[in-house]
Structure 1
């Protein structure tokens, strides 16, 4: 999933999409929700714009909002933000109550979840205002479902490996050749790092996430989901994964089960093992780099994931987040104008920079690149390096797939604590996720 504290990625999920089943009644028409019904006079529009993140993101976003309002007199924008944990719960409640923000930040499977229930605007209805012709096609496809464009990418990133070269240097361990290394190499290097560092420092963070399973299974020609909304990952692949990660935990290459599960409670960068300088490797999203570097004070680097090959790459380019518009907004054109400003103007690009991924409009990227700091430039250079060798576009999860994250976390804890074995966890995953998506 994309990281909760930056902007992310591809499969933004949460434990339960409260109230979503009531969205079908909303239809695809405009109505009484989505704002306060207007601003301070004839032709005025008052918009609400929601996103998740931290205070730094909120401050930058407010500067972009101020710039938009200056360029669009008569339109006011009220920002609404929360941390990742509470954002989707609050959004689901608001949407079910016909009180959705006009412009909504989404990610992963959420555009499909909301779009299929009529809660999002078909962006073809505002095509004369919201320009999509300069947006990267692969990233743009992340917001299209059933032939309808429901979201516009805020930027692009990729799921990859974050490494701390200082720990490698201190232990005399060579950084891997990320064009050739395997998962066996990953396990070996993690064990070597753990053995050569003080107690409490680990070669790798436990790698198990829904995104990691997607990557691992894509390398085996599968992926998590099929194009028609079914389950693609095999029990054999899941068993292989959990057999490896259980062995790594047992040999100390990754943390013990108690620490791995404890870390789930607070995924803020400064609380992660990588952010605290206590891990050599961690699978994650490329746009986590600045926050992790700032938290750790270390010159962290990005590498291709283990097991990538020319024949069957698992990595993919993904919209970090998506801007969508409520189908019930009273101001669709003004909302579309806000989204267009955010993704298509160098002015907004210079404010937001790489906070929501590397800009997908090449004109914006060209204008912003000279102003990138070292962290942002490292992301942009990594994206440019891997773009020619990543795999096909990701198959976004169907309705119900937002439950996958919770399933993975529960089963991973069961495996690591020895409550179930990898084979049984694999079957349970397929059963529980299959039920969630109706497969």
Structure 2
């Protein structure tokens, strides 16, 4: 339940937004110079789509209920899928011109969808329906492609290494103290050996393109450059995938078959692995998936490729966008503003979507121990944080998924490293030249 002080702050923000919405006149076919408008008495239905799990779905349901307290005439129908399935469905909808009104959106697809005319230009709504004061300029700029705002950053996160203290105690192994990627592999092996066959130290980290990017950034390179060219060659990718051979072939990492058996959950939140390299906002979902016997996680910096390198960066963990074909852009903008900026959103979501990007939402977020841990973690890696990479190329999401699929095949042993490299470069050639 909201405190009285919080409720007053919420009411003040909502009242301000209502004045802006009610004080305009017109519709979605206004001239470009006219202020966007919304009739609060009009009954509107919006479709909202996001990726996540049952935990996140529950949080969105709470947020929608709070939104409806201020906008009772806007009905929000929400749906969610796992990350890969979410984008498969969006691609199908995009082809048919029927994307959801409001979408949780990944940075890797922003250029692709905006350049294809699938996303609404949000600039006319900034400063009125969508509040900008709580969002620092560098945060607002994250959603800009070719000088046009297409997405509003919900939250930020960073790449990190989660560990499971309960499993480490069972294995009789101390927390990973940091070091090189080889050091991390050796540590995973110690955990696997100490588990008595019950669980593994981790999985093959070479199946994630983000770990490859991390190594490239430590070498002063980008995964993809501003002009869309790759920052690596076949030899470098071969080296990366071959570095995972001991994890795959020596029994250090969890077998892929075991991963498939627990899907759609992952190995880490099924207590089958004691570590996982991923974005730091995944912690809440992991704890929920692990259950009541697990009350805390470790969160430390990823292995180091080169000491002193600025290999890490703050990423928009997600954005919110609006379909270019929405019939209710003003109502959709009001929903986006609420999900990003409202005190309720900060209080409800905490860091489930990453640390809130909006100062208003962050101030309202009552951080639980894990959320505070994420905030402290991002402060601890300040010396490793560099500039964010270029806005992902068109088709990046397709390449990220291809990388993941090839990583799965490498773990199954159904493809060689050389064949995987050839397949990835063939896919990349198609994507970069389409």
Q: Which TM-score bucket, shorter chain as reference?
A: 0.7 to 0.9
Deviation (angstroms), 1:118? 0.7
Supply the distance in 1 between the matched residues of 2:41 and 2:364 (Cα, whole angstroms).
Answer: 36
Supply the distance in 1 between the matched residues of 2:46 and 2:412 (Cα, whole angstroms).
Answer: 48
Tell whether 2:92 aligns with 1:97. no
Sort the Cα spacing of 1:347 and 1:86 in 2 relative to 1 into closer, same or farther, 3 A: same
Tell whether 2:360 aligns with 1:363. yes
Deviation (angstroms), 1:419? 5.3
Deviation track 1:346-390 (CA, whole Å, cap 9, x = no partner) reads: 12211222221110122321221xx22222222222223224532
Q: Is the CA contact 1:138–1:317 (under 8 Å) kept in the aligned structure 2?
A: no
Deviation (angstroms), 1:214? 1.8
What SS class does the counterpart of residue 218 from structure 1 fall into?
Answer: helix
Q: Is the CA contact 2:226–2:390 (under 8 Å) kept in the aligned structure 1?
A: yes
* Equivalence for 1:279: 273
What SS class does the counterpart of residue 201 from structure 2 fall into?
Answer: strand
Residue in structure 2 matching 1:408, options 397, 403, 406:
403
Gaps of 5+ in 1: 1-28, 32-38
* Equivalence for 1:122: 121
- Which of 1 and 2 has higher RCO (CA within 8 Å, sep 6+)? 1
Supply the distance in 1 between the matched residues of 2:344 and 2:41 (Cα, whole angstroms).
Answer: 28
Residue in structure 2 matching 1:394, options 389, 398, 401:
389
Supply the distance in 1 between the matched residues of 2:240 and 2:112 (Cα, whole angstroms).
Answer: 28
Deviation (angstroms), 1:304? 0.6
Sort the Cα spacing of 1:247 and 1:150 in 2 relative to 1 into closer, same or farther, 3 A: same
Q: Is the CA contact 1:407–1:433 (under 8 Å) kept in the aligned structure 2?
A: no
* Equivalence for 2:374: 379
Supply the distance in 2 between the matched residues of 1:107 and 1:393 (Cα, whole angstroms).
Answer: 15
Supply the distance in 2 between the matched residues of 1:315 and 1:120 (Cα, whole angstroms).
Answer: 29
Supply the distance in 1 between the matched residues of 2:88 and 2:414 (Cα, whole angstroms).
Answer: 30
Q: Is the CA contact 1:51–1:104 (under 8 Å) kept in the aligned structure 2?
A: yes
1:212-227 residue pairs with structure 2 within 5 A? 212-227=211-226
Supply the distance in 1 between the matched residues of 2:288 and 2:74 (Cα, whole angstroms).
Answer: 36
Supply the distance in 2 between the matched residues of 1:191 and 1:47 (Cα, whole angstroms).
Answer: 50
* Equivalence for 1:251: 250
Q: Is the CA contact 2:161–2:275 (under 8 Å) kept in the aligned structure 1?
A: yes
Bigger mean CA deviation after superposition, 53-62 or 277-286: 53-62
* Equivalence for 1:5: none
* Equivalence for 2:197: 199
* Equivalence for 2:8: none
What SS class does the counterpart of residue 282 from structure 1 fall into?
Answer: strand
* Equivalence for 2:19: none
* Equivalence for 2:430: 435
Supply the distance in 2 between the matched residues of 1:176 and 1:84 (Cα, whole angstroms).
Answer: 29
Supply the distance in 2 between the matched residues of 1:170 and 1:339 (Cα, whole angstroms).
Answer: 45
Sort the Cα spacing of 1:139 and 1:41 in 2 relative to 1 into closer, same or farther, 3 A: closer
Q: Is the CA contact 2:189–2:201 (under 8 Å) kept in the aligned structure 1?
A: yes
1:24-63 residue pairs with structure 2 within 5 A? 43-63=42-62
What SS class does the counterpart of residue 329 from structure 1 fall into?
Answer: coil
1:74-153 residue pairs with structure 2 within 5 A? 74-127=73-126, 128-153=128-153
Q: Is the CA contact 1:109–1:396 (under 8 Å) kept in the aligned structure 2?
A: yes
Supply the distance in 2 between the matched residues of 1:69 and 1:80 (Cα, whole angstroms).
Answer: 17
What SS class does the counterpart of residue 315 from structure 1 fall into?
Answer: coil
* Equivalence for 2:210: 211
Deviation (angstroms), 1:139? 4.6
* Equivalence for 2:311: 314
Deviation (angstroms), 1:250? 1.9
Supply the distance in 2 between the matched residues of 1:66 and 1:314 (Cα, whole angstroms).
Answer: 40
Q: Is the CA contact 2:53–2:285 (under 8 Å) kept in the aligned structure 1?
A: no
Q: Is the CA contact 2:346–2:363 (under 8 Å) kept in the aligned structure 1?
A: no
* Equivalence for 1:21: none
Q: Is the CA contact 2:154–2:358 (under 8 Å) kept in the aligned structure 1?
A: no
Sort the Cα spacing of 1:367 and 1:309 in 2 relative to 1 into closer, same or farther, 3 A: farther
Q: Is the CA contact 2:181–2:305 (under 8 Å) kept in the aligned structure 1?
A: no
Deviation track 1:55-105 (CA, whole Å, cap 9, x = no partner) reads: 332232122222222223543333233343433333333333332222121
Gaps of 5+ in 2: 1-27, 31-37
* Equivalence for 2:334: 337
Supply the distance in 2 between the matched residues of 1:218 and 1:109 (Cα, whole angstroms).
Answer: 17
Supply the distance in 2 between the matched residues of 1:338 and 1:420 (Cα, whole angstroms).
Answer: 46
Supply the distance in 2 between the matched residues of 1:136 and 1:173 (Cα, whole angstroms).
Answer: 42
Tell whether 2:231 aligns with 1:232. yes
Count of aligned pairs: 396
Question: What TM-score do you get using the length of structure 2 for normalisation?
Answer: 0.82
Deviation track 1:279-316 (CA, whole Å, cap 9, x = no partner) reads: 22211121111222233333321111101656323222
